């Protein structure tokens, strides 16, 4: 789903949306700042045509065809509603059982990750006993290898335990640690799944997890760190750059979110909030920003 532009005023946006609907183009409108309403087209196949229709509407929004289209759209919606009602009377729609899982409110990959994190948190008896998750740390030893050689000093990974490159993201070290990480993950991940794809979300999480974990390991040489923070900062960086350089992609971070995340990023480096995996934060953020910028250049390898 991508945006084709903004229209000033809700009524005008709804009128144009009805026109798109009458033309068989699935759409959404979304309120923005200063009463500017973004028009989203759900199928990439309709983008070019919808863009041309928007240009024509802007040139002459008072054209009588738009009023006619509104009536046609209303009739179509009424007919679809009647057909849907008939269908519901004949069958039991399983989706109705999970209405809260629709749209941005639920991303199946995102909430799968949250479930794993919570399960691991319970397994550690709420971050008081970490012996049951020893196999999830990046390593079981500290490295004293030279900085540039530390990435090769992962003995367990070299022996085949490659899952350790990812699994530290599931281990959280306090109640506040997991709560804040899961809140950010739920918000960011669900948007990416809804407006990009689940496959992209999986690739982002895996790549950001591995990258941020390795940066933390190389920076400190210490294996006992964990949490989803590196991935979260990576998602922030990805959405920030992708939305900035490709506004039509469907991802947009407001200035408050960006400022809050940057301030917290800086505060963590001060040490005021205790020991923090700052290397993972920095690594995730930089990797996410690079990925977002590359994706905005329409490079297929990072864009799907």
Domains within the chain, CATH numbers bracketed: 2-91 (3.30.70.1530), 103-303 (1.20.1540.10)
The string of pLDDT tens digits covering residues 58-104 is 989 888 888 888 788 788 778 877 776 665 655 544 444 333 334 45
| Average pLDDT along the chain | 87
Distance CA 54, CA 6 (A): 9
Closest to 15 measured CA to CA, from 78, 81, 60, 47: 60
DSSP 124: T
CA 18 to chain centre: 29
The string of pLDDT tens digits covering residues 17-33 is 888 888 888 888 888 88
Percentage above 90 pLDDT, the chain: 51
Flag whether pLDDT at 225 surpasses 60: yes
What are residue 3's DSSP bridge partners? 40
Closest to 165 measured CA to CA, from 283, 302, 303: 283
Percentage above 70 pLDDT, the chain: 90
| The pair of three-digit structure tokens given for residue 222, joined into one six-digit string | 């210490």
| The pair of three-digit structure tokens given for residue 11, joined into one six-digit string | 């009524």
Closest to 251 measured CA to CA, from 202, 291, 210, 299: 291
Q: Are 186 and 106 in contact (CB under 8 A)?
A: no
pLDDT band at 211 (very low <50, low <70, confident <90, very high): very high
Q: How far is CA 178 from CA 20, 168, 172, 189, in A?
A: 43, 13, 6, 15
């Amino acid at each position: 789903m991508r945006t084709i532009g903004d229209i000033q005023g809700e009524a005008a946006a709804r009128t144009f949306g009805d026109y798109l609907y009458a033309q068989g183009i699935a759409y959404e409108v979304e309120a923005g700042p200063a009463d500017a309403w973004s028009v989203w087209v759900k199928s990439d196949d309709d983008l070019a045509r919808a863009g041309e229709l928007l240009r024509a509407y802007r040139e002459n929004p008072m054209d009588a065809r738009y009023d006619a289209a509104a009536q046609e759209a209303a009739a179509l919606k009424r007919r679809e509603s009647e057909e849907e009602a008939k269908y519901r009377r004949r069958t039991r729609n399983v989706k109705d059982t999970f209405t809260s899982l629709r749209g941005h409110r639920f991303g199946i990959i995102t909430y799968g990750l949250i479930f794993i994190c919570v399960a691991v948190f319970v397994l550690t008896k709420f971050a008081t006993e970490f012996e049951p998750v020893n196999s999830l740390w990046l390593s079981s030893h500290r490295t004293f290898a030279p900085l540039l050689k530390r990435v090769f000093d992962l003995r367990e990974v070299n022996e085949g335990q490659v899952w350790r490159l990812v699994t530290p993201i599931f281990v959280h070290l306090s109640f506040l640690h997991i709560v804040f990480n899961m809140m950010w993950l739920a918000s960011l991940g669900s948007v990416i799944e809804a407006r990009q794809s689940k496959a992209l979300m999986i690739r982002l999480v895996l790549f950001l997890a591995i990258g941020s974990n390795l940066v933390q390991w190389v920076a400190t040489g210490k294996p006992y760190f964990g949490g989803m923070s590196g991935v979260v900062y990576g998602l922030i960086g990805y959405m920030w750059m992708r939305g900035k350089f490709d506004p039509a992609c469907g991802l947009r971070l407001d200035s408050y979110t960006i400022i809050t995340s940057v301030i917290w990023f800086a505060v963590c480096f001060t040490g005021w909030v205790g020991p923090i995996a700052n290397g993972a934060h920095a690594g995730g953020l930089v990797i996410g920003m690079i990925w977002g910028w590359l994706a905005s250049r329409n490079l297929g390898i990072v864009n799907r």
